[in-house]
Amino acid sequence: MLSIAEGLLIFIVVGESILGVLGNGFIGLVNCIDCVTNKKFSVIGLIFIGLATSRIFLIWIIITDAFIKIFSPHMYTSGNLSEYISYAWIIINHLSTWFASSLSTFYFLKIANFSHHCFLWLKHRIHRVLSFLMGLMLISWLLVLPQIVKIIKDLKMNNNSNTTWQFNIPKSDYFTYYTLLSLGVIFLFILCLVTCLLLIVSLWRHNRHMQSNALGGRDPSTEAQVKAIKILVSFIALFILHFIGIAIEVACSAALENKLLFIFGVTTVVIYPCGHSFILILGNSKLKQASWKVLQPLKCCGKAKPLGTPQPGMGRTGGPRE
């Protein structure tokens, strides 16, 4: 039986997952419709579609893995289910982080303003930069997948049949395993951090230039930079929470039998793919307008008509008009 706190956290996790699937599904659907309508696939549109799709799968993998460990731990210690989930998590997590890094790199190269020749060379070769990042992700997969095969074999050999979803190995080794498996993701996260810092530097230099020329207010380029920085900073903050949640899950799986702490870790992990999707919707003008069009009819339907208002085809006394 679950305690009240555990049940409340599971309710929050389910709510986060539903919102995350809806938010990312909305992002993917709007960009798919836009591509079909314009009969042209833009780079930013494809990035949004890939990011939304990968995050939907990531949410399902996280929830499936967590619920199996909580409610049916025997399924995790028998068969190859844990192996399949681990492979899927590695692939989807790397793919989701790659799309997020591509989005931050795209914003940086499109919005930032530097005169250095290296930046200008990269700015005119965005497609090559994204292809390079894709190559790095593929290399990361090639390095990680053999390692996870070895790790899963070690876990099966050291797993105690009397345990539930704990593994009978030293916690330090368990953290080392996850660190090795996350090297590619950590590199992409550092890339996001660097692009965000460079965008902040670009905005600061731009504002200083405007003040020195006595130009008040903000121009459209400054507004675009501020919006992009908010999106990138939110991504970094949520991604840090994502890593903290994974660390909590690893600690519980490695040494602790504390379902409450484990469920709290799952709640923290799901915040990233859920929360960032709504930040993207609010930060992108096209997505924001589309969401307003969807919510407007719902808002109108939610308003009850005042009592005494004549209905169409009815007179003031309530009878049919002549």
Buried b (16+ CB within 10 A) or exposed e, 94-108: bbbbbbbbbbbbbbb
Least confident residue range of 15-24, 88-97, 193-202, 245-254: 245-254
Q: Look at residues 256, 253, 249, 258 and name the one whose alpha carbon lies nearest to residue 2.
A: 258
DSSP conformation letters of 267-283: HHHHHHHHHHHHHHHHH
pLDDT at 318 over 50: no
**Domains of the chain (ranges plus CATH)?**
4-292 (1.20.1070.10)
CA angle at 107 for the pair 104 and 109, rounded to the nearest 5°: 105
Give the per-residue SS3 of 83-152: HHHHHHHHHHHHHHHHHHHHHHHHHHHHHCCCCCHHHHHHHCCHHHHHHHHHHHHHHHHHHHHHHHHHHH
The residue-averaged pLDDT of 269-296 equals 87
Q: What is the pLDDT of residues 202-246, one digit of tens each?
A: 877 777 777 676 555 556 666 777 777 777 788 888 888 888 888
Average pLDDT for the chain: 78
Confidence of residue 125 (pLDDT cuts 50, 70, 90): confident
The pLDDT, as a whole number, for residue 302 is: 59
Span 101-109, average pLDDT: 86
pLDDT at 163: 46
SS3 11: helix
What is the spatial distance between Cα 140 and Cα 143, in angstroms, rounded to a whole number?
A: 5
Per-residue pLDDT at 105? 87
Q: What is the pLDDT of residue 197?
A: 83
pTM: 0.81
